[in-house]
């Protein structure tokens, strides 16, 4: 009797898992059934002389700050230090089509039936099925088993568009900003919402980097987690910045962004007072940043992510440089990021989708 064939994990050789870390990666033990077949890219932040322990049996490459400086030279200035934003270096060095990034205090959550949630599997499903940014389907994800487009949904739009980003959520500790954390220290997210939604075209959203996957070939160069941490006036806006730039470019290029399932279990609340110090400038700057991104428009000549991103950098410098000099530096860092990306990924400069 032939032994049952173990199915090859989906996208096993086409996806890298990127983890930013300052600690040992024991959390991987809980993810072993889901993550072990995949290659990990560990971005070690902070003191490069610290040894990060990785549980046995995982296939990984690890980069610390010395590696980043050696590989990028002066262009390493665009990669944040002492902030989870450093994770974007892993996106740049990867050679795979897909990326899943997760924090090391995120664990396997259970669905309402008590079953362990394979977050990676759900992200892959989200990325491999189209998005519907042009017309909202009231029965949520129409490509999901057991549901469909509802009456009145234009047939001309039912093909959908390629999905560039899959944004997952969190049970237990929600990704609240510091003021909310301070006024609601005991609040936990216990609500499991069984839905995946496309973020409509023209709508921005707060992208959290904790449980996130994307198609690197479709949108990789836009996933720059902005300058944060050491020497910077702001923190905890790295993923937000990437999300706003990414969404403007996805809308321009006709790509989709989904949010909802999968959930992970976020186990540790970072210190709200430290977070307040990191966030406070961002909390009032974002009242100018959001109108900027909402009004941002890219010329039709911008047909690649790189050209869109360079144009966005120009607009950041022109329109946000007066908000604070930080945005002049950030606009420059955006260009450095693209130069570094193209240096490490020379063949990936083809117009979108070619
Ligand atoms: O200096 C640092 C600090 C941490 N890391 C690694 O980054 C992630 C997140 O760290 P942590 O869980 O401590 O912080 P959170 O506040 O929960 O992070 C979330 O909020 C946003 C911060 O920008 C972001 O969307 C989430 O990451 C862990 O893996 C740490 O090991 C680091 O690399 N450098
Ligand atoms: Mn955390």
In whole angstroms, give the CA distance from residue 272 to residue 129. Answer: 37
3-class DSSP assignment, residue 8 = coil
Q: Given the DSSP bridges, would you call strands 163-172 and 256-266 parallel, antiparallel or unpaired?
A: parallel
Q: What pLDDT score was predicted for residue 349?
A: 54
Pocket of ligand 1 (CB under 6 A): 20-23, 45-46, 82-84, 86, 103-105, 175, 208-210, 236, 238-239, 268, 270
Q: Which atom of ligand 1 is nearest to the CA of 19?
A: 29
Measure 48 CA to ligand 2 centroid, in angstroms.
21
Ligand 1 atom closest to Cα of residue 43: 33
Q: Give this complex's ipTM.
A: 0.96
Distance (Å, whole) CA 42 – CA 19: 5
Q: Ligand 2: distance of its center to the CA of 174 in Å?
A: 9
Residue nearest to atom 18 of ligand 1 (CA): 210
Per-residue pLDDT of the chain (354 residues; tens, 9 = 90+): 666 776 677 899 999 999 999 999 999 999 999 999 999 999 999 999 999 999 999 999 999 999 999 999 999 999 999 999 999 999 999 999 999 999 999 999 999 999 999 999 999 999 999 999 999 999 999 999 999 999 999 999 999 999 999 999 999 999 999 999 999 999 999 999 999 999 999 999 999 999 999 999 999 999 999 999 999 999 999 999 999 999 999 999 999 999 999 999 999 888 999 999 999 999 999 999 999 999 999 999 999 999 999 999 999 999 999 999 999 999 999 999 999 999 999 975 555 544
Q: Give the integer Cα–Cα distance in Å for 90 and 228.
A: 16
Ligand nearest to the CA of 23: 1
Q: How many whole angstroms separate alpha carbon 27 and alpha carbon 159? A: 39
What crossing angle do the helices spanning 238-253 and 305-320 adopt, rounded to 10°?
120
- Token pair recorded at residue 63: 């980069």
């Amino acid at each position: 009797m032939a032994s049952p064939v173990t199915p090859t994990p989906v996208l096993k050789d086409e996806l890298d898992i990127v983890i930013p870390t300052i600690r040992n990666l024991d959390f991987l033990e809980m993810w072993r059934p889901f993550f072990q077949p995949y290659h990990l890219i560990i971005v070690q932040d902070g003191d490069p002389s610290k040894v990060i322990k990785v549980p046995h049996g995982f296939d990984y490459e690890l980069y610390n700050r010395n590696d980043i400086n050696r590989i990028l030279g002066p262009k390493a200035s665009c990669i944040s230090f002492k902030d989870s934003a450093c994770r974007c270096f892993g996106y740049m060095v990867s050679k795979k089509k897909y990326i899943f990034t997760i924090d090391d205090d995120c664990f396997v959550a259970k669905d309402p039936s008590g079953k362990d949630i394979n977050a990676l599997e759900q992200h892959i499903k989200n990325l491999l099925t189209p998005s519907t940014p042009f017309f909202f389907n009231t029965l949520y994800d129409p490509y999901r088993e057991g549901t469909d487009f509802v009456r009145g949904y234009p047939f001309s739009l039912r093909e959908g568009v390629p999905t560039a980003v899959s944004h997952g959520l969190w049970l237990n500790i929600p990704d609240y900003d510091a003021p909310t954390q301070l006024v609601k220290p005991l609040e936990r997210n216990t609500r499991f919402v069984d839905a995946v939604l496309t973020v409509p075209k023209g709508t921005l959203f707060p992208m959290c980097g904790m449980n996130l996957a994307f198609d690197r070939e479709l949108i990789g160069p836009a996933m720059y987690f902005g300058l944060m941490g050491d020497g910077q006036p702001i923190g905890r806006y790295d993923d937000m910045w990437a999300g706003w730039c990414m969404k403007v470019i996805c809308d321009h290029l006709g790509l989709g962004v989904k949010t909802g399932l999968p959930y992970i279990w976020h186990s540790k609340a970072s210190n709200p007072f430290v977070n307040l110090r990191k966030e406070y400038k961002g909390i009032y700057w974002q009242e100018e940043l959001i109108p900027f991104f909402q009004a941002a428009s890219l010329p039709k000549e911008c047909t690649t992510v790189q050209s869109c991103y360079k144009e966005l950098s120009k607009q950041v410098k022109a329109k946000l440089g007066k908000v604070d000099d930080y945005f002049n530096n950030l606009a420059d860092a955006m260009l450095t990021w693209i130069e570094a990306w193209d240096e490490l990924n020379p063949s990936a400069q083809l117009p979108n989708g070619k």
